Structure 1
Amino acid sequence: MKGQEWYQADDVAAEYDDKRFSRGGQLIDFREKAAVLDALSPLEDKRVLEIACGTGRFTVMLADRGADVVGLDISAAMLQQGRTKAQAAGVADNLEFLRGDAGRLPFPDDHFDTVVAMRFFHLADDPHAFLQEMRRVSRDQIVFDTFNRYSTRSIYNWALPMGSRLYSAREVHALLEANDLSLSNVSDDFLLPYGLYRITPNVLASPLRSLDRLLGNAPFVDRLSSVSYWDATVDEPVE
């Protein structure tokens, strides 16, 4: 995985949310959480694994809505941030945080109803192998996002500390097919780069977001969106 040493540093974990999801970045946080909730609801008693859970943004949210959640990440510092969030939200007893490798998930086959991986596939050096492992432990559903090749992100991708693997829609469809997954839904968003929102005060970022949504509704413009949210179902085995 790209940038593992940087990602696991204590100071990176401590500042991670503030750098990405404060100011106009709150709009990114809101959109990503909405994508996950739209795909997974209803959540009551659903068994969910979140891969690369980081500071627990989604893990804590899902537990708060009644899911039985496990959050897995390679960074001990990120996991500690997640545990602190869970305690503050009063859901520490409803979820579990584990340190582990997404390429070798420590769970039996079909152990979860749903596997979620947000902000993960842009770092995957072998996306097919990772998706195959997610498919193995999920009995019903896999939800993930990808950053897109034909987007503004391609302009500054080289400057990011962990880099990014950028995908075309064709590549993702091929990955799903190769892993016996059927696409239930895909949503494309954010024509403007994420970095622009993060450096913009929320009072100014909100009008930018409105403009972004307006432009995104134009025909064929969604192909230039920075991110796609994918919701896939596990195919039934052929008898």
Structure 2
Amino acid sequence: MKGQEWYQEDEVAEAYEEKRFSRGGRLIDRREKQAVLDALEPVEDRTVLEIACGTGRFTVMLAERGADIVGLDISGPMLQQGREKAKNAGVIDHLEFMRGDAGRLPFPDDHFDVVFAMRFFHLADTPAAFLTEMARVSRNQVFFDTFNAFSTRSAYNWMLPMGSRLYEDDEVSNLIDEAGLTLEESAHDFVLPYGLYRKIPDWLADPLREVDTSVMDRDVGQRFASVSYWNTSIDG
């Protein structure tokens, strides 16, 4: 798993959200949260597992909406940030954070209604194994995102400290089939790379996003999207 040791650092966990989701990065945070809600709602009283929950930005959001949710991550410092966030949001008693390995989930088969992962598969060295585990412990639904091979991210991926695993649509389709899942719907977004939004102020990010969205409305935008969201169901 790429970045496993890096995410264990206290200073990385403490600065994670400020580095990625401040300035224009707030726009990315809003879009990702909406993608999760679009795929999972209604979540009230549903049992949910978030893989690689990090600092708990999705875990806490879903707990606030009534989900019975577990957030799992391999990094203790990231989980501690999540607990602080849950405490501040008043939902610390309505969720559970657990340290664990996504490749060996400590749950029985069909344990959750929904299992999802965001910002995870670009770090996965064995994506088939992880997706199969997610499918194993879900009764109904598995949702995840990927970064795409034919996108602006490929132009600078080599510059990133850990790089990213980039996926072609056919590869994701094969992974879904091999995990015993059925693709219900997919969505593609962000021709412009995430890194660009993080480096610009809010006032510039919004009009830039309008340009990005207008490109995404065309076929060329769909082909060169940076990120894809995959909503799948359990076969049978």
Q: TM-score, normalised by structure 2?
A: 0.99
> What secondary structure sits across from 2:219 in the alignment?
coil
1:92 is matched with which residue? 92
Measure, in 2, the Cα distance between the counterparts of 1:186 and 1:31. Answer: 15
Other structure's SS at 2:233 match: strand
Deviations 1:40-79 (A, max 9, x none): 0011100000000000010000000000000000100000
> How many angstroms apart in 2 are the aligned matches of 1:127 and 1:229?
15
* Counterpart in the other structure of 1:218: 218
**Cα deviation, residue 162, structure 1:** 2.4
| Residue identity in the other structure for 1:29 | D
Aligned residue number for residue 21 of structure 1: 21
* Cα separation, 2, equivalents of 1:55 and 1:232: 25
Q: Aligned residue for 1:125?
A: 125
Aligned mates of 2:161, 2:115 — CA distance in 1: 26
1:165 and 2:165 correspond: yes
Question: Following the alignment from structure 2 to structure 1, what is the Cα–Cα distance between the partners of residues 41 and 3?
Answer: 33
Matched, 1:10 2:10: yes
Equivalent position of 1:36 in the other structure: 36
**What is the deviation of 1:220?**
3.4
In the alignment, the residues of structure 2 paired with residue 160 and residue 94 of structure 1 have an alpha-carbon distance, to the nearest angstrom, of 36
Letter in 1 for 2:4: Q
**Which residue of structure 2 aligns with residue 75 of structure 1?**
75
Aligned residues: CA RMSD: 0.6
Letter of the structure 2 residue corresponding to residue 99 of structure 1: R
> What is the identity, as a one-letter code, of the residue corresponding to 2:178?
A
Partner Cα distance (1:199, 1:36) in 2: 24
Give the AA of the match of 2:35: A
Q: Which runs of 5+ in 2 are unaligned?
A: none
Question: What secondary structure is seen at the aligned counterpart in 2 of 1:36?
Answer: helix
CA distance in 1, matches of 2:80, 2:168: 34
Q: Alpha-carbon deviations, 1:7-38, whole Å to 9, x = none?
A: 11000000000010010000100010000000
Equivalent-residue separation in structure 2 for 1:36 and 1:149 (angstroms): 22
Q: Deviations over 1:208-229 (max 9, x none)?
A: 0000000111123211000001
Gaps of 5+ in 1: none
SS at match of 1:4: coil
- The amino acid of 1:118's aligned partner reads M
CA–CA distance in 2 between the matches of 1:207 and 1:150? 24
- Deviation of 1:161 (Å): 2.1
- What is the rounded CA distance, in whole Å, between the counterparts of 1:160 and 1:81 in structure 2? 24
The match for 2:189 is 189
Paired residues in the alignment total: 236
Matched, 1:235 2:235: yes
Matched residue, 1:177: 177
